[in-house]
Every structure is written in structure tokens, then in C-alpha cells.
Amino acid sequence: MFCPKCGAQNSDTASFCVSCGAPLKPSAQPIGDTYSSTPPPQNRPASGAPPKNWMTEAILATVFGFLFSCLGGIFGIVAIVSASNVNKRFQQGDIDGAAKAASQAKTWTIVAAVITVIGFIITFFVYGVASLAAIMGG
Ligand SMILES: [Zn+2]
């Protein structure tokens, strides 16, 4: 290698220049290291598919929610509103907002589904007890 300071030729393994004594930095640093572990860009443009918006599940939860328990249907409507925000925010380039709306839609869909199932069981139980009482009472 050549000394960067005075230009004198030195051995490739030399740590200091034989002519001027300047430190010679070996240029044998691995180049790949600093570039291979590049993190993915955070602010990607809105392209590709939006996150799962849970719209289908939210509508189903609302329909069955109103069939079996009014409360489940109300939470289903909240889920539909959140689900409709997913694509809207994604189209505005708000990836984080879309992901947040998707997670809200998922949560409300599950809440609506659970309440609907509970409502269904209670309804079934009440009708069952009422029928049984009717049978027993003759
Ligand atoms: Zn030198």
C-alpha cells in the first residue's frame, strides 16, 4: 500500500509508514457489514395490500349480534366503523393508522361475537327453562 501522507510505498502489513511514520490504516475492513444489515424503510409509500380490515367478520358479528342479542349488534357496528377506517386510512398513506384501525376492528368483532354467543346461550337457556316449566306445569 502507499502512505496517504507522503506517498511512500509500504508493505501491505505495515502499521506505520517507513518513510514518515504516519499510521497506516489497513483498508481490509469488511465492506459488507455496514450495508448488509440495513433496516427496512419505515415510511413506505402506500402500496400493496392494506391490512386485513375485518369487514366481513364485523358484518357477520353485527347480523348475528342483532339476531341473538341487541348488545352484540351494537358492538358489531363499532367493529364495522373501525373496519371501514382501515382502507380509508391506508389510502391516505397512514399505514400505522390503518394497522391501528384493523386491530380495533378485530377487537370489537371478537367482543361482538362473544356477546352474541353469550346472548345466544342465555336466550336458549331462558327458552329451555320456560319450555320445561310449561311441560312440567302441564
Ligand atoms: Zn509516509
* Number of domains forming the structure of the chain: 2
pLDDT digits 0-9 by tens, 77-105: 999 999 999 999 999 999 999 999 999 99
Q: How far is ligand 1, taken at its centre, from the CA of residue 32, in Å?
A: 29
Question: Residues 82, 127: one domain?
Answer: yes
Q: What are the cell numbers at 8?
A: 511512500
d(CA 16, CA 29): 17
Does residue 49 lie within any of the structural domains? no
Q: Would you call 115 exposed, middle or buried from its count of C-beta atoms within 10 A (0-12, 13-18, 19+)?
A: buried
Put simply, whether the predicted model's pTM sits higher than 0.85 gets the answer: no
d(CA 121, CA 113): 12
Does residue 15 lie within any of the structural domains? yes
**Domain around 14:** 1-27
pLDDT digits 0-9 by tens, 24-33: 876 554 544 4
Question: Residues 17, 68: one domain?
Answer: no
Question: Residues 86, 129: one domain?
Answer: yes
Q: How far is ligand 1, taken at its centre, from the CA of residue 30, in Å?
A: 24
